[in-house]
Amino acid sequence: MKEKKTISKDIHPVKSAKGGIRRGELFNRVNALILSKDKNTQNLFKKLFLEYGHKMKSVNAREEALRIIKQIPFLIVIIDLEMSEVDALEFLKKIREIDENSCIIIVSTHPSVESAVEIIREGGYDYLTKPFASKKIKIVLGRAIERQHLLREAKQKRHYQKLSILDGLTNVYNYRYFREFIEKEISRAKRYNQTFSLSMVDIDDFKKYNDKYGHLSGDKLLKQIASFFVNAVRTADTIFRYGGDEFIILLSMTTKEEALKAAERLQNAIKQNFPLTISIGISNFPEDGGNKASVIKKADLALYQAKHSGRNKICSYAPDKSKRN
């Protein structure tokens, strides 16, 4: 009975209607690329990768290798050196420019310690010499494959973590992440004896806009305004969708007076670029409270004052009566 080959679940060799292989499917099938004119070297690496449940594509020209790497994000690239050290380093740099996460393994018949060190310094993963030592080559390939799997898993994890903290409509940070973020900001401010301000922003008469133009147009406008906020504030400031048509801007290391000036600039810019205006309520840590709940509540009270004193208003929290602009 023939022994069945174990193939990774990541490999799905599906052909297109014309018999070719689509790009996305090729990525699933081809995990590694080898550049070598030596058929024996090509076949050896293909056999080893198949044992790990991976496919390998082979090419014998540098130009073809670069063209393919630009099209397909290979996890591992093996280069059988038949070029000068200067050319080899230049070629390695070109691959790293296309994909800095490519795991590049160099193969050479006559290596020197200096060339091996230089290649590793320039981003090469490892160096193998001919004739190959069976144990050495399996260790290098096993580690390279494991490394790339870990990188892929980490990338996927970061992707899903990012999705979990972003608002699905506006692509700014969501309310849940705001609650976590402000806790960290308060801890940082206390530790370094610093201040920050909250600007709670509400779009004036947004319900009327929705009623007049429909919810699809309203959603589009919300996305545009959120994007405008991101580009209008400092890189140190952070935008959150608080809910509905309300946003919060957390201004790091900012006094209430500085937050008022920033709010005025933002308000004027919105008025000039959109068919609606905004009202803003401002609070400050630690001036208006020493914890999350109090700082948020004071910004909300200031916004309430701004909304009920007319459209396009800014109020900062004050103990008795919010200061108006």
294: domain CATH number?
A: 3.30.70.270
> Would you state the torsion angle of the CA atoms of residues 96, 99, 101, 106, taken in this order, to the nearest 10 degrees?
-40
When pLDDT is averaged across residues 288-293 and rounded to a whole number, the result is 93
Same domain, 115 and 230: no
Average pLDDT over residues 262-285: 96
Q: In terms of residue numbers, what domain contains 267?
A: 175-324
Cβ-based neighbour number of residue 14 at 10 Å: 10
Residues 220 and 158 in one domain: no
Q: Which pLDDT tens digit goes with each residue over 211-253?
A: 999 999 999 999 999 999 999 999 889 999 999 999 999 999 9
- Convert the pLDDT of each residue in 174-212 to its tens digit: 999 999 999 999 999 999 899 999 999 999 999 999 999
Confidence of residue 307 (pLDDT cuts 50, 70, 90): very high
The active-site residue, picked from 126, 204, 237, 245, is 245
Question: Looking at per-residue confidence, does 84 or 61 come out higher?
Answer: 61
pLDDT score of 204: 96
Concatenate the DSSP letters of all residues of 87-139 into one string.
HHHHHHHHHHHH-TT-EEEEEESS--HHHHHHHHHTT--EEEESSPPHHHHHH
Amino acid at position 143, single letter:
R
Verify that 288 and 187 share a domain, yes or no.
yes
| C-alpha distance from residue 37 to each of 30, 57, 59, 98, 133 (Å) | 19, 13, 8, 23, 20
Q: Which of 165, 190, 224 is the last residue of a domain?
A: 165
- At 21, the pLDDT band (50, 70, 90 cuts) reads very low
Work out the average pLDDT over 35-51: 88
Q: Supply angle C-alpha 45, 46, 52, rounded to 5.
A: 90
CATH of residue 49: 3.40.50.2300
Give the model's confidence band at 9: pLDDT under 50 very low, under 70 low, under 90 confident, else very high: very low
Is 245 catalytic? The answer is yes
- pTM as predicted: 0.57
Confidence of residue 1 (pLDDT cuts 50, 70, 90): very low
231-235 contacts at long range (C-beta below 8 A, 24 or more positions apart): 232/265, 232/266, 232/269, 233/262, 233/266
Element (H, E) at 246: strand 246-252
Q: For residue 1, is it within any domain?
A: no
